């Protein structure tokens, strides 16, 4: 054992190079967000002079104060929260039972159903046909246009299915049957309690998807009061970058230019904050999900 | 109760008709029903709209009533001068991001796997994994502020080093790099997780035996670790190359502006523009259909190649 722990000279060189490279990678992953944080708290004069590369300078909250005044951000927050909550509930209600059914090998037609589902992963009607469908169903400009089309995710079904197949033993089903129960009772009293891990993973996957939704909002929503946060942020960044809209800041002076810069930094952070706060708590579930998914079903 | 017992016995012995078996599984079909309904409406429903690719859409007449025009829309797309440019942009952007998305996470996972210091390993892994959580909107917004010609930190550093400021988002050639590098930034840590999982499953005794035999670390990586994750690599490659003709329409629309249009207009953004913004439903659907078919062909080809070369395939 001691022999194995001992490091040769080449091992040490290897380690030094490896650790340094990883430090560079860490920095590359970390710095962009870190800089945005510093810049959002600093006086733009210093930011533009390159004096805030590692620490904030000229501490100010002006950017945040101004950003907080944008009602649209808060409306976006509220909308995104609602869409995420309702959307995720629908996802789970559809996904978990269906995955369970498809995990039962005795299901008649299992192969046909699975093929029909897999087909949709690679072939779809396309932008306009989906748009026309949503329009014809009267879903335009409602949250349902964001929530319903992707209500059932085939990819996640495959992950759930392989989880059920690997973690719910057949004997448990036999014992439920001996008690005179059917699939219904088996699912609710045995399978669900055994599946907390995968349910947590699925809640996260879907919630993240809904929270980050952008393109379908751009396609299907017209009323600004219904925009989710990402669309609000995209529009805001756009208008601030292109200076087309003064954002209610008044004339285009050096002062407003400074304020505009700060708002850009602070709005990014305001929008990213929920994810950054949640990340430490949820990241282990993401890893679990990837592991389950990697066991091909 | 007795009857149901009998049924179970019959299921096990398998001497029931298909119809009877289906009847005994009615509860499973109820579980499946919502998913099937959603698929029927939102995945299969729009497939009927593909007919539009061969029609001139007239809102008053609907999809069915609109007149057939054959391959008119396809001919129009393939003969317009910008067609080649859009296809070229699409392929360059998507192919390189696919090529980057396979080896980088593998190398990163192998490097991380060599780290004995637990806290360091965790720190690096968690930090690189974090950007995956952020939306494309946030990622591109960060790019815009960091690359801004007036206040962006990148330009400040360039200037400090003696260079001159670059308006990255106004520069056509920067478009591809923005797309590729943000992809690497967001996905490397996440994609590495799957390889790390495969690496942690390697038989420890085999590793120790190799060490006792005096194998160097690079040798162990090459001869033991890489072969151990080969199957995972192939599956990930099939998945990646299956989308090798796909450019994220959301990210591209966010990167795009009037100055960089020459390189940032790809098939998916063009489909959106002529269709949803321009109202040319038939033309847009035709281009979209072309894109979808190429994608399907990609998946099937890559899957076939993997099947022949390594006996690993998705279907």
Segment B185-237, tens digit of pLDDT: 999 999 998 899 888 888 888 888 888 888 888 888 998 999 988 888 888 88
Average pLDDT of B259-275? Answer: 94
Question: 3-class DSSP state for residue B166?
Answer: coil
Closest CA–CA distance from residue B288 to any residue of chain A (Å): 6
> Cβ–Cβ of B43/A4 closer than 8 Å?
no
Q: What is the ipTM of this complex?
A: 0.90
CB atoms within 10 A of CB A194: 14
Q: Which of B3, B184, B221, B4 lies closest to B103 in space, CA to CA?
A: B184
Q: What is the DSSP letter of A137?
A: T
Question: What is the pLDDT, as a whole number, of residue B62?
Answer: 85
Tokens 């072969």 — which residue?
A: B227
CA-based end-to-end distance of chain A: 38
Question: What is the pLDDT, as a whole number, of residue A104?
Answer: 93
Mutate to test the interface with A, among B9, B29, B41, B42 (most CBs of A within 10 A): B42
Question: 3-class DSSP state for residue B55?
Answer: strand
Q: Which of B277, B248, B172, B8 lies closest to A181 in space, CA to CA?
A: B8
Q: What is the DSSP letter of B169?
A: G
> In this complex, which of B50, B129, B138 lies closest to A126 when CB atoms are compared?
B50
Which of A28-37, A46-55, B63-72, B249-258 comes out lowest in average pLDDT?
Answer: A46-55
pLDDT of B8 above 70: no
- Burial class for B28, CB neighbours closer than 10 Å (0-12, 13-18, 19+): buried
> In this complex, which of B34, B108, B137 lies closest to A234 when CB atoms are compared?
B137
Confidence of residue A238 (pLDDT cuts 50, 70, 90): confident
The neighbouring-strand residues paired with B55 are B68
> Cβ–Cβ of A106/B44 closer than 8 Å?
no
A44: its two tokens: 């733009």
Question: What is the pLDDT, as a whole number, of residue B212?
Answer: 85
Give the Cα separation of A297 and A117 in Å (integer): 14
Closest CA–CA distance from residue A157 to any residue of chain B (Å): 10
Give the Cα separation of A129 and B66 in Å (integer): 14
Give the Cα separation of A247 and A145 in Å (integer): 29
Q: Which residues from A are below 8 Å from B250, CB to CB?
A: 214-215, 218
Average pLDDT of A96-116? Answer: 94
Average pLDDT of B251-272? Answer: 93
Question: What is the pLDDT, as a whole number, of residue A139?
Answer: 96
- Burial class for B313, CB neighbours closer than 10 Å (0-12, 13-18, 19+): middle
* Residues contacting residue B10 through CB under 8 Å, at least 6 positions apart: B16, B20
Question: What is the pLDDT, as a whole number, of residue A6?
Answer: 65
CB atoms within 10 A of CB A193: 8
Check residues A16 and B311 and name the one with the higher pLDDT.
A16
Question: What is the pLDDT, as a whole number, of residue A4?
Answer: 52
Check residues B70 and A245 and name the one with the higher pLDDT.
B70
Average pLDDT of B92-106? Answer: 92
> In this complex, which of A14, A15, A94 lies closest to B34 when CB atoms are compared?
A94
Residues 274-313 on B with a CB inside 8 Å of A are 275-276, 281, 284-285, 288-289, 292, 295-296, 299
Average pLDDT of A218-243? Answer: 88
Which of A20-24, A52-56, B232-236, B308-312 comes out lowest in average pLDDT?
Answer: B308-312
Highest mean pLDDT range out of A81-90, A156-165, A285-294, B250-259?
A81-90
Question: 3-class DSSP state for residue B68?
Answer: strand
Question: What is the pLDDT, as a whole number, of residue A246?
Answer: 41
Tokens 């779809």 — which residue?
A: A124
> Cβ–Cβ of B141/A268 closer than 8 Å?
yes
- Burial class for A240, CB neighbours closer than 10 Å (0-12, 13-18, 19+): buried
Give the Cα separation of B78 and A276 in Å (integer): 46
- Burial class for B240, CB neighbours closer than 10 Å (0-12, 13-18, 19+): middle
> In this complex, which of B27, B39, B46 lies closest to A182 when CB atoms are compared?
B27
Give the Cα separation of A58 and B77 in Å (integer): 55
Check residues A7 and B165 and name the one with the higher pLDDT.
B165
pLDDT exceeding 70 applies to what percent of chain A? 92
CB atoms within 10 A of CB B275: 26
Residues 54-73 on A with a CB inside 8 Å of B are none
Question: What is the pLDDT, as a whole number, of residue A297?
Answer: 36
Tokens 């007036």 — which residue?
A: B150
A213: its two tokens: 């939704």
Question: What is the pLDDT, as a whole number, of residue B43?
Answer: 96
pLDDT, mean over chain B: 88
pLDDT, mean over chain A: 88
Mutate to test the interface with B, among A125, A144, A151, A270 (most CBs of B within 10 A): A125
Query: Do B303 and B314 contact (CB within 8 A), yes or no?
Result: yes
A259: its two tokens: 């304020």
Q: Which residues from B are below 8 Å from A187, CB to CB?
A: 31
Q: Which residues of A152-162 are buried (b: 16+ CB within 10 A; e: fewer)?
A: bbbebbbbbbb
pLDDT of B13 above 60: no
- Is A139 at the interface with chain B, CB within 8 A? no
pLDDT of A37 above 50: yes
Question: What is the pLDDT, as a whole number, of residue A279?
Answer: 87
Average pLDDT of B78-85? Answer: 94
- Nearest chain B residue to A275 by CA distance is B133
* Residues contacting residue B228 through CB under 8 Å, at least 6 positions apart: B198, B199, B201, B202
The DSSP code sequence of A58-111 is S---HHHHHHHH-HHHHHHHHHHHHHHHHHHHHHHHHHHHHHHHHH-TT-TTHH
Give the Cα separation of B280 and A131 in Å (integer): 13
Average pLDDT of A198-213? Answer: 93
> Cβ–Cβ of A127/B288 closer than 8 Å?
yes
> Cβ–Cβ of B31/A151 closer than 8 Å?
no
Confidence of residue B63 (pLDDT cuts 50, 70, 90): confident
- Is B255 at the interface with chain A, CB within 8 A? no
Q: Is the dihedral of CA B18, B24, B30, B35 positive or negative?
A: negative
Question: What value, to the nearest 5°, has the Cα angle with vertex A38 and ends A33 and A40?
Answer: 95
pLDDT of A94 above 70: yes
- Is A92 at the interface with chain B, CB within 8 A? no
Residues 157-216 on B with a CB inside 8 Å of A are 157, 159-160, 169, 185, 188-190, 193-194, 197-198, 208, 211-212, 216
- Burial class for A226, CB neighbours closer than 10 Å (0-12, 13-18, 19+): buried
A217: its two tokens: 């909002």
Confidence of residue A237 (pLDDT cuts 50, 70, 90): confident
pLDDT exceeding 70 applies to what percent of chain B? 94
- Tell me the backbone φ, ψ of residue B69, rounded to 5 degrees: -130, 10
Q: Which domains are assigned to chain A? A: 1-60 (no CATH), 71-297 (1.10.3720.10)
Distance of CA A70 to the CA centre of its chain: 24
pLDDT of B58 above 60: yes
Question: What is the pLDDT, as a whole number, of residue B309?
Answer: 78
- Is B92 at the interface with chain A, CB within 8 A? no
Q: Which residues from B are below 8 Å from A156, CB to CB?
A: none
* Residues contacting residue B236 through CB under 8 Å, at least 6 positions apart: B102, B191, B194
Question: What is the pLDDT, as a whole number, of residue A87?
Answer: 97
Q: Is the dihedral of CA A257, A258, A259, A264 positive or negative?
A: positive
Residue A133's H or E segment, with its range, is helix A127-136
Which of A197-211, B87-101, B148-162 comes out lowest in average pLDDT?
Answer: B148-162
- Is B108 at the interface with chain A, CB within 8 A? yes
pLDDT exceeding 90 applies to what percent of chain A? 58
Query: Do B196 and B113 contact (CB within 8 A), yes or no?
Result: yes
Closest CA–CA distance from residue A131 to any residue of chain B (Å): 8
> Cβ–Cβ of B197/A290 closer than 8 Å?
yes
Check residues B13 and B303 and name the one with the higher pLDDT.
B303
> Cβ–Cβ of A283/B145 closer than 8 Å?
no
Query: Do A274 and A85 contact (CB within 8 A), yes or no?
Result: no
Give the Cα separation of A64 and A41 in Å (integer): 8
Average pLDDT of A14-36? Answer: 94
Give the Cα separation of B214 and B211 in Å (integer): 5
The model carries a pTM of 0.89
């Amino acid at each position: 054992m001691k022999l194995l722990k001992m490091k040769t000279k080449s091992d040490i060189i290897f380690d030094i190079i490896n650790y340094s490279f990883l430090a560079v990678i860490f920095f590359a992953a970390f710095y962009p967000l870190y800089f945005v944080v510093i810049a959002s708290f600093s006086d733009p004069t210093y930011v533009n002079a390159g004096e805030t590369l590692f620490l904030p300078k000229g501490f100010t909250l002006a950017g945040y104060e101004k950003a907080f005044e944008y009602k649209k951000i808060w409306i976006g927050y509220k909308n995104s929260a609602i869409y995420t909550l309702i959307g995720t509930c629908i996802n789970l209600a559809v996904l978990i039972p269906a995955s369970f059914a498809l995990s039962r090998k005795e299901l008649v037609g299992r192969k046909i159903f699975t093929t029909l589902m897999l087909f949709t992963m690679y072939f779809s009607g396309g932008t306009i046909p989906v748009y026309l469908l949503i329009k014809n169903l009267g879903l335009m400009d409602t949250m349902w246009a964001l929530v319903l089309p992707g209500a059932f995710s085939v990819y996640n079904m495959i992950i759930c299915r392989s989880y059920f197949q690997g973690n719910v033993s057949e004997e448990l089903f036999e014992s439920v049957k001996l008690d005179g129960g059917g699939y219904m009772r088996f699912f609710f009293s045995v399978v669900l309690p055994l599946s907390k891990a995968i349910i947590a993973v699925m809640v996260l996957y879907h919630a993240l998807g809904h929270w980050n939704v952008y393109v379908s909002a751009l396609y299907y929503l017209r009323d600004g009061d219904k925009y989710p946060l990402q669309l609000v942020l995209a529009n805001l960044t756009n208008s601030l970058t292109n200076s087309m809209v003064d954002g209610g800041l008044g004339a285009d002076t050096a002062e407003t230019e400074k304020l505009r810069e700060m708002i850009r930094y602070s709005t990014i952070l305001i929008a990213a904050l929920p994810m950054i706060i949640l990340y430490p708590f949820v990241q282990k579930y993401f890893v679990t999900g990837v592991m389950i998914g990697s066991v091909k079903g | 109760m007795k009857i149901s017992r009998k049924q179970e016995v019959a299921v096990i012995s398998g001497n029931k008709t298909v119809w009877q078996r289906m009847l005994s599984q009615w509860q499973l079909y109820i579980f499946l029903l919502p998913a099937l309904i959603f698929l029927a409406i939102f995945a299969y429903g729009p497939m009927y709209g593909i007919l539009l690719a061969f029609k001139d859409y007239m809102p008053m007449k609907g999809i069915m009533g609109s007149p057939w025009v054959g391959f008119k829309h396809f001919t129009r797309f393939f003969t317009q001068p910008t067609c080649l440019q859009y296809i070229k942009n699409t392929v360059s952007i998507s192919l390189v991001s696919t090529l980057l998305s396979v080896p980088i996470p593998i190398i990163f996972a192998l490097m991380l796997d060599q780290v004995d210091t637990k806290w360091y390993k965790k720190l690096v892994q968690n930090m690189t994994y974090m950007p995956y959580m952020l939306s494309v909107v946030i990622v591109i917004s960060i790019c815009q502020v960091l690359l801004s010609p007036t206040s962006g930190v990148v330009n400040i550093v360039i200037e400090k080093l003696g260079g001159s400021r670059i308006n990255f988002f106004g520069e056509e050639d920067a478009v591809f790099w923005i797309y590729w590098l943000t992809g690497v930034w967001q996905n490397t840590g996440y994609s590495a997780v799957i390889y790390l999982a495969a690496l942690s499953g390697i038989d420890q005794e085999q590793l120790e035996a190799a060490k006792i035999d005096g194998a160097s670390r690079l040798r162990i990586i090459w001869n033991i670790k890489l072969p151990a994750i080969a199957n995972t690599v192939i599956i990930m490659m099939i998945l990646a190359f299956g989308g090798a003709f796909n450019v994220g329409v959301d990210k591209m629309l966010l990167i795009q502006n009037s100055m960089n249009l020459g390189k940032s207009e790809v098939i998916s953004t063009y489909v959106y523009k002529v269709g949803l913004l321009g109202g040319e439903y038939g033309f847009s659907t035709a281009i979209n259909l072309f894109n979808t078919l190429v994608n399907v062909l990609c998946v099937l080809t890559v899957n076939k190649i993997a099947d022949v070369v390594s006996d690993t395939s998705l279907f």
